[in-house]
């Protein structure tokens, strides 16, 4: 079950991000406690589920993407007790063999390469013997910050209260308000900038910096994994690619697209001694990967690709566009996802 995209767009246009999240939580609670979700599950919508996490701790512009260590532990305990945690490769192998992966299988994945994966999530995963796959944009391994984190810092530290950006994907005119409530504004800026190609995104970011009068993005060292961290990861951690620079791949020309796919894979092979078999599309939404991107990924040697679209995983699922359920701090939402109700 998915909220109609138009309703979603309307909700996000009239409500702030936090208000929309509260509304969403109410809908989730209604579905869960009314028993409606079980009704949906009994209609055969339950399937293997792949969860996507980002940060366990306090990193990230999307509040949705951050789960505390306590909640993460609770969620892993739930998966270990109620489902069968498997390596992502097992689910992919079932798809490649043309079989439905068993409905009680779950796989855990992490995108974006935040270092709290290593310091906070990994010990918890080890405690519950849950295999994991991480998808790293390789630019962070050399010390670059992700652009949406940079946008967040610049907006939060802005010396002005109002910004105007004109891009080919739309206009952003936004009042930033109090420093304490600027995450919502940062998210709105990031949502427009994320669809742009490299040159335009860089130009828009420079414009944003100039308007906000912020020179440094101020992202602390150690926010992301480094190249030195990868060889030390245990064998039960699969390292996959999340491209190099976290661009919307569909916005790239052929040569840049190929480099983002091939060079990130090569860098992971150098640090990890093993090719990345799987790619998680940056952003993972339909506007960020199309047929051309899927073909380029196959040509670059990836055997499967992950999206952030929700949906059941069946033998008929396209291995180059596998759905994943967003892992949030909400236990109710996690239970709904496990029942096949994605909202
Ligand atoms: Zn990402």
pLDDT per residue over 4-37, tens digit each? 566 666 666 666 666 777 777 777 777 777 777 7
For residue 84, the CA-to-ligand 1 centroid distance in Å is 26
Question: Model-level pTM?
Answer: 0.89
For residue 68, the CA-to-ligand 1 centroid distance in Å is 19
For residue 146, the CA-to-ligand 1 centroid distance in Å is 9
For residue 38, the CA-to-ligand 1 centroid distance in Å is 31
For residue 280, the CA-to-ligand 1 centroid distance in Å is 8
Coil vs helix vs strand at 343 = coil
pLDDT at 37: 72
Domain spanning 5-144+221-338, CATH class: alpha beta
For residue 243, the CA-to-ligand 1 centroid distance in Å is 9
Q: What are phi and psi of 182, to 5 degrees?
A: -90, -5
For residue 196, the CA-to-ligand 1 centroid distance in Å is 15
Domain residue ranges of the chain, discontinuous segments joined by +: 5-144+221-338, 147-212
For residue 223, the CA-to-ligand 1 centroid distance in Å is 14
Place of tokens 């709904």: 336
For residue 136, the CA-to-ligand 1 centroid distance in Å is 8
281 HSE (CA, 13 A, CB side): 35
Cβ–Cβ under 8 Å, residues 331 and 109: no
pLDDT at 332: 85
For residue 39, the CA-to-ligand 1 centroid distance in Å is 33
DSSP 57-125: SS--S-GGGEE-HHHHHHHHHHHHHHSEE--HHHHHHHHHTT-PPPTTEEEEEEES-BTHIIIIIHHHH
pLDDT at 220: 84
- Return residues with CB closer than 5 A to ligand 1 (ion): 111-112
For residue 43, the CA-to-ligand 1 centroid distance in Å is 32
CA–CA–CA angle 126, 127, 132 (5° rounding): 35
For residue 295, the CA-to-ligand 1 centroid distance in Å is 20
For residue 112, the CA-to-ligand 1 centroid distance in Å is 5
pLDDT at 1: 43
List, in order, residues 6 or more apart from 336 with CB less than 8 Å away: 28, 31, 32, 37, 342, 343
* Residue segments in the chain with a per-residue pLDDT below the cut of 50: 1
């Amino acid at each position: 079950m998915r909220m109609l995209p138009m309703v979603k767009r309307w909700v996000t246009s009239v409500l702030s991000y936090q208000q929309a999240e509260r509304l969403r939580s109410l809908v989730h609670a209604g579905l869960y406690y009314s028993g409606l979700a079980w009704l949906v599950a009994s209609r055969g919508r339950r399937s293997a589920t792949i969860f996507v996490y980002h940060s366990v701790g306090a990193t990230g512009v999307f509040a949705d993407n951050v789960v505390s260590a306590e909640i993460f532990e609770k969620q892993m305990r739930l998966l270990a007790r109620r489902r069968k945690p498997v390596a992502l490769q097992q689910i992919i192998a079932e798809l490649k063999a043309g079989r439905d992966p068993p409905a009680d299988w779950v796989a855990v994945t992490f995108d974006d390469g935040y270092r709290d994966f290593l310091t906070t999530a990994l010990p918890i995963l080890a405690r519950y013997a849950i295999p994991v796959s991480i998808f790293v944009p390789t630019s962070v391994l050399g010390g670059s910050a992700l652009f949406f984190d940079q946008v967040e810092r610049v907006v939060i530290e802005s010396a002005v209260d109002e910004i105007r950006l004109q891009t080919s994907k739309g206009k952003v005119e936004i009042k930033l308000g109090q420093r304490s409530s600027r995450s919502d504004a940062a998210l709105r800026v990031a949502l427009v900038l994320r669809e742009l190609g490299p040159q335009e995104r860089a130009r828009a970011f420079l414009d944003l910096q100039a308007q906000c009068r912020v020179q440094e993005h101020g992202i602390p060292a150690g926010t992301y994994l480094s190249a030195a961290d990868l060889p030390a990861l245990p064998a039960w951690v699969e390292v996959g690619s999340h491209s190099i620079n976290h661009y919307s791949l569909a916005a790239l020309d052929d040569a840049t697209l190929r480099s983002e796919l091939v060079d990130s894979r090569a860098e992971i092979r150098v640090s990890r001694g093993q090719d990345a078999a799987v790619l998680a599309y940056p952003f993972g939404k339909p506007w960020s990967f199309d047929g051309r991107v899927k073909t380029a990924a196959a040509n670059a040697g990836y055997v499967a690709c992950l999206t952030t679209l929700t949906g059941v995983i069946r033998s008929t699922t396209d291995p180059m566009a596998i759905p994943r359920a967003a892992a949030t701090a909400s236990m109710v939402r996690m239970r709904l996802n496990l029942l096949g109700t994605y909202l």
